[in-house]
Amino acid sequence: MKTVLIVEDEKLIRQGIRTMIQRSGVPVEMIMECGNGEMALEILQSQKVDVMFTDIRMPRMTGIELVQKVQELPEKPIIVAVSGYADFSYAVEMLRMGVREYLLKPVEREKLWSIMKQLEQEISVSQENSRTSKRLGHQQLKYLMLNEKITEEELNTMQSEYESEFDLHGYYVYALNPKEFHDAREQYIYLHNVEGYDVFLVSEKNAPLLLKNELAQEHVGISLPHSGIRELRAAYREATEARQSAFCTNRMHVCSGERGKRIPEQFYGQGQKLTGEEVKLQRVQLLGTDKTEELVKAWNGLFYAVTNEWITPFDFAKCIDDFFKDIRKTYRNMMEDEEDNVKRLADYYSFSALMPWQTEFMDWLLAFHERINSRYDVNKNQQKIKQAIDYIQKNYDKDLNMAVVSNHISMNYSLFSYLFKEYTGNNFVNYLKGIRMEEAKRLLAETDLRIIEISAKVGYDNEKHFMKIFKTSCGVSPSEYRKNVQLNS
């Protein structure tokens, strides 16, 4: 359980109950104490308490008065009354008022422990039932958001079962890219990955708090205010459309129905042209040509237009979807190695906004462009890879990595990685390691150099790291390898 409150005007008794709780074997995150009913009521009004132990006779507000006040609270703790023998009749009255258990003073340790374990089990079962009920409710809310054809009977059932539970009397729907908010507060209804969106349902009262805290740095689409389960699907559609606008314009919070820029007619016409079939085809045909600057310009023009709202999110999405469809068809023999990248980039709304997606897309596009180019210049690329191999063989004893080698031969890093593996049948790291291990074996067999010296000669400045790699590669340590070679010679 999370929180236990001890209400008792005698300090020694309070402390004694606290110690018994701590030694009961039941984990409790927080134990609070107070000396009268008024203080206890203030605590209960400001935070959730799982279990409250309360004395009956206290100054300012008795235990009986406190229990009566607790019945008016929206979240009630489980109450255990603590009384002297003379007050037993009052304890019986409190049991009638909803008190779960009572303890006679002096409090017996075993009795308190038994009550704690019983209540812990009850709270655990209640919490699990609540979680199950909430999960089912969330599934029903998703179902309502995503289905157009819902019967009147289904609507009535959902309305009676979930509308009061989820407090849907005056709410907004927020939509953003899927992130998985593990610590979403109880004040919000949080639904992860609804058709590729994370969705929050939030009351009008808590809406500003959510935008100020959890969603302060997110690009969010916000619905108009709505009320009731019957309006949920419309609210969801408004939020997702606003989210698409937030993505395309790189704005943080976009409200449904928010008036956009006034676009002059000539700019709107330019946007129409950029989404026309002729220009869409041109963006595909420029790939693999020597017109790299034109390719970049064509795409930057599209991004500028959509950011400035010359193009609607719908038309932009269609342009991107059609582009990936066309390159899969045009370059199907090259798509196997690109599928993971294409799949990620085709899911553009999973990115927070256009700007980070644009950066990753253009990096991939130019690498793919170079790769297409390379297919028409195999000889040249093979010569460059041969130069790289020659450079590796002459410099394997230095601090070498793929960036250094690709820069040496003036080749794009991603293209070099692809061509190097295609030419050698091995990736760069394993190829370099193979050369180093072969030279290390030669030096172990033919020289009396110490292990630390051999490690340095084959490019490892850390002897232990070298020994670990050698054993992984060769199955034995360098010393064992040398010994085996000497025995067999």
The CA angle 112-118-120, to the nearest 5 degrees, is 100
Distance of CA 290 to the CA centre of its chain: 41
β partners of residue 174: 200, 222
β partners of residue 202: 172, 188
β partners of residue 486: none
**Cα(175)–Cα(191) distance, rounded to whole angstroms?**
10
In 3D space, the residue among 465, 468, 390, 463 whose CA is nearest the CA of residue 423 turns out to be 390
Please say whether the dihedral angle defined by the alpha carbons of residues 258, 264, 267 and 271, taken in this order, is positive or negative: positive
β partners of residue 116: none
Segment 383-393, tens digit of pLDDT: 889 999 999 99
Collapsing DSSP states into helix, strand and coil, what is residue 311?
coil
**Cα(369)–Cα(42) distance, rounded to whole angstroms?**
67
Query: SS3 for 153-201, per residue?
Result: HHHHHHHHHHCCCCCCCCEEEEEECCCCCCCCCCCEEEEEEECCEEEEE
Report the DSSP pairing between strands 101-104 and 51-55: unpaired
In 3D space, the residue among 70, 40, 343, 447 whose CA is nearest the CA of residue 32 turns out to be 40
**Token pair 């993971």: residue:** 340
Using CA atoms, how far residue 180 sits from 176, 200, 212, 230, in Å, is: 11, 11, 18, 26
pLDDT of 229: 83
pLDDT category of residue 365 using cuts at 50, 70 and 90: very high
Segment 271-299, tens digit of pLDDT: 888 988 999 989 988 888 888 999 999 99
8 A C-beta contact, residue 417 and residue 431: no
**Cα(98)–Cα(431) distance, rounded to whole angstroms?**
75
pLDDT of 290: 82
8 A C-beta contact, residue 176 and residue 220: yes
Distance of CA 162 to the CA centre of its chain: 27
Per-residue b or e along 111-143, where b marks 16 or more CB atoms closer than 10 Å to that residue's CB? ebbebbeebbeebeeeeeeeeeeeeebbebbbe
Segment 143-178, tens digit of pLDDT: 888 888 888 888 887 777 666 666 678 899 999 999
State mean pLDDT over 465-487.
Answer: 92
Q: Which pair of structure tokens corresponds to residue 397?
A: 């004893």
Please say whether the dihedral angle defined by the alpha carbons of residues 386, 387, 391 and 394, taken in this order, is positive or negative: positive
**Cα(301)–Cα(294) distance, rounded to whole angstroms?**
10
Segment 224-257, tens digit of pLDDT: 999 888 888 999 999 999 999 999 999 999 999 8
**Cα(352)–Cα(1) distance, rounded to whole angstroms?**
37
Q: Indicate the range of 115-129, 173-187, 420-434, 453-467 predicted with least confidence.
A: 173-187
pLDDT of 377: 66
Q: Which pair of structure tokens corresponds to residue 228?
A: 């009731």
pLDDT of 343: 93
